[in-house]
Amino acid sequence: MPPAITTLPSELVSLILIQLSLRDTLSLLQTCKSLYPPSLHHLYSTLHLCDRIPGKYRGPPCPPFTHNPLRAVGNDGCRALARTINEFEKRGEVMPGVGFIRGLVLEPEVFARSTACMRDGLLRVLGDRIEEGGVAVRWVKVSVWGSYLETLDDPPTGIERFLGILKRYSEGKKADEFSIILDTNFISSISQWFKPKCSIFDLIDLEKVTSLDLQIFLHDDEYEDDFRMSSSEDEGDIKEDADDEEVYEDRILETIAGKQATDLTALLTRTVNLRSLKLATDNEDRQYNPPPIERMASVLNNLQTAFLGLKQLEWLYLRGEMFHPSWFITPPQNVKTLKIKCVVSVAWWRRFANAELKGVKDLIIYNSKAEMDSWMSETDKDDYYMEPDDDEFGMAYATTPKEFDLGSVKVEGLREFWLQGGFRPQDLGECIAKAAKGDITILGDLFAVPVGEVLRGQQEG
């Protein structure tokens, strides 16, 4: 006969509790006095608040958070929790379990005024408890979209009040005592319609952010009223100023891409304790046509310096258009996993070959080739076959990249390489295998390896 659960060591009971849903944990809590304390502690140790129960988690690894939909408190649960806390408050008591909260997970909809967390005051109560010292939170995962910052309350209420309390609380903690996992979708407002009075980053203690999942927006400035690079009235002036690097640089700084790069640079210089970073760009199906990379050199060099300053970063994922198809972002030396999913040019691959990637152990690249556009400089055009396309104006060009080699790459510490996408140097497999000295797993679409070389995990073509 198996031993009763009440006779098991506390470590085994904790392992069992991890596998249970909130409802099952609550049922176990009510079975006997000996199981009440560990069950209550586990029930409240991480409070995952959401409107809709989340499915899959696609963000960066961000311990101590682990995604478990069975432990998420949906809208009905938030309403019941707020009601119960309020009932205890009316009696001058603190609800059992609230003092055990160590982790908070706040999904985007939690901050909407229509949800139970806001409507029934759950975040207000939690904020009060943190401010009074009744809740000793050690980490918070905040997922917030820009639209929820559109409040005009003075003094602040809702999300702004809660995040203000959280910021004051975190500023009194050391980096190893409190951490923030942040998921947000913009740096600063670049819309003529939406002008929040503050940015999410004004409400966060950035030194405590250890994981950042950030989406920024890139699109051409013809959609904005403040600066229109391609408008007819400015087109002639821009052509006249094209040889004046200082004037052109000032114009780049006024574009949406320039503003986003500048804001991102300022942000990364302040998130000194980042361990994982997912950076994605989204142009909302709008067109984005960067100029030749030489014209963006200043803002991109500053941004590269900011990336290299992330000394504790271990995991980096870059998805979408990273400002320019010829710009390869060199990660800081401590990065172990580098994942890239973007449109690239021949020049991008050459910059990749010259980048120091000695600390990277796992490298994943999903790529497709950049088409002919305004980003091409004269040196880029030398790497492509360009022929007039058959359109009615005779203006478009069809481009095909010429075959090219790298000669060598600087990835000597690499242990696993995954490539997906047919656009690559001819000698990429040979270069990777040579740099890794054969002790590497190669997966995906890459089969160009040295004659006689046997690589562990290689797929046959």
- pLDDT, tens digit, for every residue of 72-91? 888 888 888 888 888 888 89
Assigned domain for 142 exists: yes
Count of structural domains within the chain: 1
At 105 the pLDDT is 93
Assigned domain for 48 exists: yes
Strands in 248-403 per DSSP E: 276-281, 315-319, 337-344, 362-369, 384-388, 397-401
pLDDT of residue 24 exceeding 90, the answer is no
The DSSP secondary-structure symbol of 148 reads G
pLDDT of residue 249 exceeding 80, the answer is no
Highest mean pLDDT among 13-17, 43-47, 196-200: 43-47
At 387 the pLDDT is 72
pLDDT in tens, 196-221: 666 788 889 999 999 999 998 888 76
Question: How confident is the model over 55-67, as a mean pLDDT?
Answer: 89
**Tokens standing for residue 434:** 């040579």
212: containing domain: 1-216
Closest to 110 in 3D by CA, of 71, 77, 61, 153: 77
Higher-confidence position of 103 and 446: 103
pLDDT in tens, 353-382: 999 998 999 999 998 888 877 888 888 888
Average pLDDT of the chain is 81
Assigned domain for 78 exists: yes
At 396 the pLDDT is 52
pLDDT of residue 452 exceeding 70, the answer is no
Distance CA(206)–CA(273), nearest Å, equals 9
pLDDT in tens, 318-360: 999 899 999 999 999 999 999 999 999 999 999 999 999 989 9
pLDDT of residue 458 exceeding 60, the answer is no
